[in-house]
Structure 1
Amino acid sequence: MPSEFKDKVREQFGRTAAGYVQSKGFAGGADLEEAVRLLKPTPEDSLLDVACGGGHTALFFAPLVRSVVASDLTMAMLKKAQEFISEEGRVDNVMFREADAEDLPFPAGSFTMLTCRIAPHHFPDVPRALREFHRVLRRGGRLVIIDTLLPDDPEIAEFYQAMEKMRDPTHVRAYRREEWTEMLQEADLILHETRVFPKTHDFHDWAKRAGLKREGIQNLNRFLMEAPEKVHDFFQIETFAGEVETYTDQKLLLYASRPEKK
């Protein structure tokens, strides 16, 4: 990950860490429940949660496994996640580690499970991150990745990319299902199942969580309001009196594993 961009990510998420911890959209959901169903965690499992954000995924899995390492590039985010999990007072098996997803500071085969939720679209080099996921997993280790699914329609996909970059300058890109499949295969990971989940966002909460001020929110609102009809239809954009109230995108869950043998 280029150092200048890495610093930009740290600055962005350092400023907005509290908003991510407090976000109800990250605290639970059908995607997390499906991740548990597919991964089948046991008290013998050791889990690495990559780009842990506010710590919600780590906390969700902690009661189900032996240990969790919650890692993130941004130390300020890690501190907020640690405060959040400590205040919950229900688990004592979560450790926190500053880490770049593309250069994980863990020995090979350190974990039996890995999760990475709503984060890869910030990675400049997803294939490199996937190779790191493969390396730190034991043979036969399981992983779940969840991120926004890029639409197949080129015009809608271009709109989505532009919208995300307007909201958050550290957004790199989302990927189509076929692109994910190819990247996992190239990283020598076995893709077992995929799931797609619609996720509805309150527009103002979504924009403010990224740190946008009034002018930025107004510009983003205008961008969505003036979008072509098929974009409005695809994202189910709900408006009232010239203001966007909600929009709905799709999250892709990928369940994969490291091969048992080479």
Structure 2
Amino acid sequence: MVDYDGRMGSVYVAGRGMSPEGVRRWTAALAAYLPERRPVQILDLGSGSGRFTPGLADEFHGPVYGVEPSDRMRETAERAAAHPAVTYLKGSAEDIPLPEASVDGVLMFLSFHHFPDQLKALQEVHRVLRPGGVAFLRSQFANLMPDLFWYDYFPSARAVDAGMYLTVEQSQQLARQAGLVPDDELVWVTTEEPRTFRAAYERLKLRALSTFEHLPEDEIAPGFERFAVDVQRDPDRLVPVYSAAMLVLTRPGR
């Protein structure tokens, strides 16, 4: 478990922020599976600092509910990501503070691996979705882990990341147990803008990725030292841009 009320809550916005264009690319990907009518009601489950929530309101004309268990992250969202169509609520994935069949869509953006009881969370997602509603599970998957360039500096990071996530098949099976129907095919979205080696280093050294919460301390400092040396040698080199996988889950019925 990661304590987002502690250090991570203080660095998350700077270390994990997304450009407005990146948010728009994601909301456009969601729109392909949601009704054309407006408004469309959306739940941002594990909304964190609200990096997506206002963009969902802009795309789907609200109302949008951001449910987040961390007080610090939710307070940050209320201050820095306010929107007239957005309501931030204290709650968890296993106990969503919304009525049954109250939303058309649910976004779980890199939050699923933090849910203590993933099956119960998906059962709650099924409960709050209207019949025919769609949930979007944007996650890493243990059998589709990208070969991130910065793994070279932290020898344990690849295994740590893979250990945090389920495979695609495991995720699909949990969804079926919860009464949701998973699409057979993943949706792949490329939203990151190319970054220079220096910009990537400055962002990563904030340690806003949960990976660093699980790495051995004696690996972190030497890794960043080697990283910094390479940045000095070639600061303007562009780092790879990775496509991200998303699983689409539907509550049956209309």
Q: SS of 1:56's equivalent?
A: coil
Distance in 1 (CA, whole Å) between partners of 2:163 and 2:247 is 19
Per the TM alignment, residue 115 of structure 1 is displaced from its structure 2 partner at its CA by 0.9
Cα distance change on mapping 1:147 and 1:181 into 2, 3 Å: same
Structure 1 position 126 matched with structure 2 position 122: no
Structure 1 position 185 matched with structure 2 position 176: yes
Asked if 2 retains the 8 angstrom alpha-carbon contact of 1:72 and 1:98, the reply is: yes
Cα distance change on mapping 1:162 and 1:182 into 2, 3 Å: farther
Which has the larger share of strand? 1
Asked if 2 retains the 8 angstrom alpha-carbon contact of 1:121 and 1:173, the reply is: yes
Aligned residues: percent identity? 18
Structure 1 position 76 matched with structure 2 position 84: no
Structure 1 position 60 matched with structure 2 position 55: yes
Asked if 2 retains the 8 angstrom alpha-carbon contact of 1:50 and 1:116, the reply is: yes
2:107 paired residue number: 115
Task: Summarize deviations over 1:187-246 as a string: whole Å, max 9, x none.
Answer: 11012342134567724413415287x98753444899xxxxxxxxxxxxx977599984
* Paired letter, 2:94: E
Distance in 1 (CA, whole Å) between partners of 2:8 and 2:42 is 23
| Greater Cα offset, 10-19 or 181-190 | 10-19
Distance in 1 (CA, whole Å) between partners of 2:159 and 2:52 is 25
* Paired letter, 1:55: G
* Paired letter, 1:218: A
Q: SS of 1:208's equivalent?
A: coil
Per the TM alignment, residue 135 of structure 1 is displaced from its structure 2 partner at its CA by 1.2
**What runs of 5+ residues in structure 1 fail to find an aligned partner?**
225-237
Cα distance change on mapping 1:162 and 1:258 into 2, 3 Å: farther
Task: Summarize deviations over 1:74-133 as a string: whole Å, max 9, x none.
Answer: 1211121122233xxxx4111110111122222222222111112112223222211111
Cα distance change on mapping 1:183 and 1:203 into 2, 3 Å: farther
Alignment of 1:1-262 (within 5 A): 5=1, 8-19=3-14, 22-24=17-19, 28=23, 30-40=25-35, 42-63=37-58, 64-86=60-82, 91-152=83-144, 162-163=156-157, 173-192=164-183, 193-197=185-189, 202-210=200-208, 217-221=220-224, 241=233, 246=239, 250-260=243-253
Per the TM alignment, residue 62 of structure 1 is displaced from its structure 2 partner at its CA by 0.4
Q: SS of 1:148's equivalent?
A: coil
Cα distance change on mapping 1:242 and 1:176 into 2, 3 Å: farther
| Greater Cα offset, 13-22 or 186-195 | 13-22
Per the TM alignment, residue 27 of structure 1 is displaced from its structure 2 partner at its CA by 5.2
Distance in 2 (CA, whole Å) between partners of 1:142 and 1:12 is 34
Number of matched pairs: 233
Asked if 1 retains the 8 angstrom alpha-carbon contact of 2:12 and 2:208, the reply is: no
Which has the larger share of helix? 1
Q: What TM-score do you get using the length of structure 1 for normalisation?
A: 0.70
Per the TM alignment, residue 186 of structure 1 is displaced from its structure 2 partner at its CA by 1.4
